[in-house]
Amino acid sequence: MANRNLQAGLAQLKAGDYAEAIAQLEAVLVNELHPGTLFKAKKALVKAYEGDGKLRLAWKLCQELTESTSPEIREWGDRTLAELDQRYPTLASEILIGQRLTRQQKVIRALIQWLKRSPQRVSTLEMAENIIEEERYIHANNNNPLGKLTVYWNIFRRISLLLGKTLWVWIKAKWQEFKARK
């Protein structure tokens, strides 16, 4: 059975009534579970947002689609995002650039998630955060470029030492486990 909100949203989109199309299509996102129907609704919603002048919402939804596990959805999101960037060249810079994650940012996000899965790793992460806050507090009034470089260098140095010690403790524990098995 076809989703009534999707059908109504597509009809409103075709008629050029973008506000009503958005209302219907957003209802699909809330109530629908079928992935294919959700993808159709999101594709139509991007077009409705663009038609209604809500370019930021269209861009953000495309960005969300580029992170899909489905190759088809990801490809559509990439293509549409590129088209939006081409039609509205300043849009990406107007939106927080940090939302469009680079591969390095995705790796860092995955690393943080991995660190959070273990109590020992969480304490290491908390200690690293404390180091960052401490260094920023110490050098809060130092706004010159050399001062900022000093802050970043101190953060890097202290976190490297912390991670080195943590790694050494982990290696020793694994070595003890290995010796205990023999």
pLDDT average, residue stretch 126-149: 67
Residues 174 and 121 in one domain: yes
Same structural domain, 124 and 77: no
The predicted pLDDT at position 8 comes to 92
Q: Tell me the two tokens of residue 16.
A: 């050029």
Question: Are residues 103 and 73 located together in one domain of the fold?
Answer: no
| Residue finishing a domain among 25, 52, 87 | 87
For 100, what's the count of Cα atoms within 13 Å in the CB-facing half-sphere?
17
Among the candidates 41, 66, 87, a domain finishes at 87
Residue 27 counted as domain residue: yes
* Residue 66 confidence (pLDDT): 87
Q: Is residue 37 part of a domain?
A: yes
Same domain, 140 and 107: yes
Q: Say whether both 30 and 71 belong to one domain.
A: yes
The residue ranking higher by pLDDT, 9 or 119, is 9
Q: What is the pLDDT of residue 1?
A: 43
Asked, for residue 93, whether it belongs to a domain, the answer is no
Q: Which domain holds residue 104?
A: 99-181
Does one domain contain both 109 and 173?
yes
Q: What is the pLDDT of residues 130-139, one digit of tens each?
A: 666 776 666 6
Place 13 in a pLDDT band, splitting at 50, 70 and 90: very high
Q: Do both 37 and 82 map to the same domain?
A: yes
| pLDDT at 92 > cutoff 80 | no
Residue 125 to residue 30: CA distance in whole angstroms: 35
Do 53 and 26 sit in the same domain of this protein? yes
Structurally, the chain folds into a number of domains equal to 2
pTM, full prediction: 0.52
**Structural domain ending residue among the three candidates 27, 61, 87:** 87
Same domain, 105 and 148: yes
